[in-house]
Each structure stands twice: as C-alpha cells, then as structure tokens.
C-alpha cells in the first residue's frame, strides 16, 4: 500500500567519477518530463575523481519549494553511500541498493529493494553503465515511462554516439529487472498527471544566463571557477546566437576589466565568479564606480575562507559584496531567492546597472546555481512585473553644446556618450575628475563628486520603492513574530512556515531582493508591531543579521524587537526542520517576555 504523500525525497549516494550525478540528473529529467515537479541538490568533493557524492532530488505532484529533510528513498551505489546517510534516512524509508557494493545492509525494519546493477551491467559488457541500469530500475519503481527514459537518454547522452546503444540497453535492462522482481506498488509512488502544464527545467546558473540574455547582455568575460563555471558555459552556448561575444580571460582581474571596457564601448556586459575571484575584482569594481560605467558581476558563493570547500554552498560573501572596496564607491547588490527568481533578478541587475551607471553584484550560491527545478515559463517583465531601464544617452542638443559626461545633477545621473557619438568624446578616468572627466584633485571637487555618486544610490532607492520585485513578503500580515532572510534559504523558510501555520502559529516573512540599497520603507513596515525576528543564513557570523541590527537599530530599540540569529556554515542548505525548530524556540523564548 502506498504512503499518502505529495512529495518524495530521493537521495543517491555513490563514488565521484562513477556517474552518480549523471544517475541523479537523468532520473530527475525523466520524472520532470512525465509531469512531476522536481527540485534537486548536490554536494560532491573538490577532487575530480574519488570521494563521496550526494545527489538529492525531491519529486512532487505540486510545486516543490526546497530539497526537503530526511531521505524517503535512499539509493546506495556503494557502502559509504549507505553508511553515511543512515542518520538522515526516514524511519519508514525505502532502501534501493546494489548488493555487490552494499552486502547485507541492516535496514532496521525498512523495506529494501536490491538491484544488482554491477552484475547486470557486466552481463552485457558495459560496467560503466551501471548508473543507467539503476536509472532504468528507478523508472519502473516510480512507474515512469520507459519511452520517456529512452528519450531523455538520447537527448542527454546522444552526443556519445559510440555508446548510445549501450546506454539505451542499460536503461532497458534495469527497467525490465525491476519490473520482473518488484511488481508490487511502490510505497512512495507518485501519480503522474494526465496532462502536465508547460514548464522549464533549469538550473539556477542557466536561469541567470538566460536572464542576462533577455536583458540584452552581449559581452561576457570570465575565468572558470567552481561553482560559477556553469554560468559561463551557458553563456558560451547561447551568446553567439544573439550576436554576442564571450572571452575566457587569463584571470578574474582581466575579466572584470574586459567587461568594463566593453560596457564603456556601449555593450551590456557581465562576468561571473565566486568569492576568491570577487576579491580579485574589487579594484575593477571601484574603477567602474568612479567612472560610472555599468557592469554586472554574478557571485556564486561557496564555503570559504580561502579555497575553503569550493564545491559546497555558503552565503558568506555578503560583507565582501556590500562593503569590499577602497573608499566609498557606490554599487548595488541583488539576491535572487529561487531558480525562477534568478532569471528575473538578472534582468533587474542590468536595468539598474545601465540606468544608474553603477556596478551590480548578483549574489547566488552553489546550492541554488547547481540545483535544477521545474519552473513556469517566464512572465512578461518590462512594464508589468517591474521595469526594464536603459542607459541614459545624451541628446544631439546636449552633444552640440557643452557636453559634460559627469555633469552635476540633482539625481546624480548624467548622460553617458558611446564612443563614436559626434561631440561625445570624454575621458573615463580612475582618478578623481571634474565634470568633463579631467583629473581634478581639489578638496571642493572631490566633495562634489562624492556627493554626486552617493545621490545615484539614493535615486535608485527612491525608484525601487515602486518595484514589486525589490522585496518578497508573505505569511500572516503584521504577525508578532517574523523571519527575515535573503537568497536561497527562502524555500526551507516557506515550508517551515507552512508547518507552523498548520499548528495555528501565525508568522510573517520578508526577503529583500535588493540588499544594497536596502528597501528601508518595506523593512520599516515589516518591523512595525513585531516582537522578534529570526534571521537564518548560511554563514558563520550571521552577516545579514548584523546588517539589520546596525542599519535598523533605532527601530529595533524603540520597539524592543529582538533579533534571533540562526547561522549555519556547514556547506549544505538548511533543512525545513532546522528553520521550524528555530522559529518555535524564538516564539517560546519571547512568549515569556
């Protein structure tokens, strides 16, 4: 008899270099094509081969918001994959395993499905295909369609023509074995929809690249760095189709400066990196701030400091992104909170960069960039969801008269000429300059130019008040308890809040998408009437909570609002249970005040 559930967490453990990630990816794509909603998470060692890989996919009959908690189904491709996941395996879960690799596992009353993938793959002389044998078995066990499995393998692996027939045979051998040996209904079977809605299956990195292309990005310079390389790979695949140019630079310093140069020349430009690379780009970012040149930088965060754990997730670069630099150079910092939002926030990033002539950092992380989700097709954005702002160009009249590239204005913005415009020649200098761009070192001029650049940020702050996309707020309006966070933690927070709501506990959440400038008006409205807020984040020092305490201390003190910090720096995302328990503890502690 099946277990009544809307979602199932399937975790796969195996050796790096033996196709464990491919197993998870192909199985996930089959499930998505057959109409299930999917959401994945992966964690793997930094070594190219060797070490343990964990791939988790959560399947659902409705939209899935996070990777879930304990595994309902554990697929153990080796002994380590079994032993290391015992403590995170549902008591009523199901084990699916290779008996040649996991002999006689003690399941503690759980159901077990032995699938001899090593033996089966040897039988047709294709040991390297044991992962696809397991995919075929999983397809039958979850009652997915064999023709779908074949189609996915042909599309995903068809470029390897010399082994395509063997790959297809591996799928069929696993499917037929499971059909013969496990004819009963699977406890965690999910009903497939008769007709599924049209959706996209994208990773966060792919969504960011596609959002950039939609925004008009036509130049990308980058240096490969884990876990940001997929952004560059996606741009390399599609950018030439749009008439754009991609350059693999020699390092991150060259990357940022190439992007700045291309932007100066009139192209919407970007680069992508991770924490160590962003550190190298700081001087370039300051240059872009001084010269008021638009550029977008994607930072896919990873566990640090230094090389740290380059294949693990983190939100540890917030302080670097907000404050890293010499002097007071303006910038914007955006934080998408889902794969779908990655697409939209990249469009916003180019709007802000181009119109306000300021560098924009988009903060993603390893978990969100690498995970794959089913998402609806993007909605119209320009003039509906928010705005698509463009670069302010000088008019012919302005160029014919006394054109000053850095003219002092009330908003801080001054029209930016493109090379080749008649009368638009100017000097884009990293030195402090006057309104014409000529170096000028007087105290009076420096003060005026610092004020000009600061007004750009304030102009953007006022403009963003009208953008629906600058914050996300949900839950019980004006509840006494709240959660404030940013980025990829939102899914686990939403599901934890649903558990609380089912227990009659009212709570409200606010997730800003613009972290610089902060949406002060929205935050002030959210804090009004709150007794305490919980701030969950994937870093060691509770960086966002410190920002909230520092920026809003007057509101917090005046209303006696307590900030509860929930920091996690382990290289893996929050579990729903962790957010739920922290919120429960906050309410219990504050209830006695």
pLDDT tens readout for residues 389-441: 999 999 999 999 999 999 999 999 999 999 999 999 999 989 999 999 999 99
Residues contacting residue 259 through CB under 8 Å, at least 6 positions apart = 219, 220, 221, 269, 270, 271, 295, 297
Q: Supply the pLDDT for residue 4.
A: 55
Nearest to 510 by CA among 381, 335, 340: 335
202-376 and 468-591 share one fold = yes
Output the pLDDT for position 381. Answer: 63
C-alpha span between 581 and 587 (Å, rounded): 10
pLDDT at site 159? 79
Q: Where are the domains of the chain?
A: 7-181, 202-376, 468-591
Task: Pick the closest to residue 291 from 429, 172, 146 (CA basis).
Answer: 429
**SS3 of residue 382 by DSSP:** strand
Q: What is the pLDDT of residue 1?
A: 42
List Cα–Cα distances, 320 to 281, 316, 358, in angstroms: 11, 8, 17
Q: What is the pLDDT of residue 45?
A: 84
pLDDT tens track for 470-527? 899 999 998 999 999 999 999 999 999 999 999 999 999 999 999 999 999 999 999 9
How far is residue 515's CA from residue 379's CA, in Å, rounded to a whole number? 24
Predicted pLDDT of residue 46: 76
**CATH class name, domain 7-181:** alpha beta
pTM value?
0.95
Which DSSP state fits 303? B
- Which residue stretches of the chain have pLDDT < 70? 1-4, 48-49, 380-387, 592-593
Run of H or E including 38: strand 37-43
Single out the residue of 497, 510, 556, 504 nearest to residue 531, CA to CA.
Answer: 556
For residue 71, the Cα-to-chain-centroid distance in whole angstroms is: 22
The CATH class of 202-376 is alpha beta
Strand pairing category for 359-365 and 332-334: parallel
**CATH for 468-591?**
3.40.50.920
Residue 591 is predicted with a pLDDT of 79
């Amino acid at each position: 008899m099946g277990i009544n559930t809307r979602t199932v967490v399937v975790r796969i453990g195996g050796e790096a270099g033996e196709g464990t990630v491919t197993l998870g990816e192909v199985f996930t794509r089959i499930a998505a094509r057959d109409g299930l909603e999917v959401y994945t998470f992966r964690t793997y060692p930094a070594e190219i081969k060797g070490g343990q890989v964990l791939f988790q996919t959560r399947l659902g009959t409705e939209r899935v918001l996070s990777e879930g908690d304990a595994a309902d189904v554990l697929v153990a491709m080796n002994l380590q994959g079994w032993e290391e996941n015992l403590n995170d395996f549902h008591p009523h879960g199901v084990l699916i395993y290779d008996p040649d690799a996991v002999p006689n596992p003690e399941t503690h009353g759980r159901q077990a499905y032995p699938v001899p993938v090593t033996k089966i793959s040897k039988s047709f002389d294709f040991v390297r295909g044991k992962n696809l044998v397991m995919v075929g078995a999983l397809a039958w066990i979850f009652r997915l369609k064999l023709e779908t499995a074949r189609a996915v393998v042909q599309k995903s692996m068809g470029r390897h023509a010399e082994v395509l027939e063997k790959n297809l045979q591996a799928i069929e051998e696993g499917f037929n074995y499971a059909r013969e040996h496990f004819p009963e209904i699977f406890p965690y079977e999910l009903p497939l929809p008769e007709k599924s809605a049209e959706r996209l299956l994208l990773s966060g990195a792919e969504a960011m690249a596609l959002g950039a292309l939609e925004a008009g990005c036509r130049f990308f310079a980058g240096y490969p760095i884990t876990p940001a390389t997929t952004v560059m790979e996606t741009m390399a695949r599609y950018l030439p189709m749009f008439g754009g140019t991609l350059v693999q630079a020699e390092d991150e310093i060259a990357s940022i400066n190439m992007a700045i140069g291309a932007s100066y020349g009139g192209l919407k430009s970007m680069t992508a990196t991770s924490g160590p690379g962003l550190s190298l780009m700081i001087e370039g970012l300051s240059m872009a701030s001084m010269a008021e040149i638009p550029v977008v930088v994607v930072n896919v965060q990873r566990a640090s400091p230094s090389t740290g754990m380059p294949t693990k997730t983190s939100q540890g670069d917030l302080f670097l992104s907000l404050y890293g630099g010499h002097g007071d150079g303006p910038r914007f910092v955006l934080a998408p909170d889902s794969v779908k939002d990655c697409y939209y926030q990249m469009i916003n990033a180019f709007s802000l960069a181009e119109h306000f002539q300021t560098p924009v950092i988009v903060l993603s992380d390893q978990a969100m960039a690498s995970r794959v989700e089913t998402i609806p097709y993007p909605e119209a954005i320009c003039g509906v969801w928010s705005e698509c702002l463009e670069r302010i160009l000088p008019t012919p009249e302005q160029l014919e008269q006394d054109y000053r590239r850095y003219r002092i204005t009330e908003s801080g913005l001054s029209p930016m000429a493109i090379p080749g415009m008649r009368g638009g020649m100017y000097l884009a200098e990293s030195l402090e300059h006057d309104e014409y761009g000529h170096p000028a070192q007087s105290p009076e001029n420096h003060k005026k130019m610092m004020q000009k650049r600061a007004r750009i940020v304030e102009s953007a702050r006022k403009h963003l008040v009208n953008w629906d996309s600058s914050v996300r707020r949900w839950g019980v309006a004006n509840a006494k308890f709240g959660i404030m966070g940013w980025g990829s933690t939102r899914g686990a927070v939403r599901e934890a809040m649903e558990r609380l709501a089912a227990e009659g506990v009212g709570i409200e959440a606010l997730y800003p998408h613009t972290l610089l400038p902060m949406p002060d008006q929205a935050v002030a409205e959210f804090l009004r009437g709150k007794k305490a807020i919980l701030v969950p984040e994937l870093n060691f020092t509770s960086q966002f909570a410190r920002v909230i305490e520092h920026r809003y201390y007057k509101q917090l003190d005046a209303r006696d609002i307590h900030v509860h910090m929930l920091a996690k720096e382990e290289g893996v995302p929050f579990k729903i249970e962790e957010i739920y328990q922290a919120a429960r503890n906050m309410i219990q502690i504050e209830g006695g005040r």
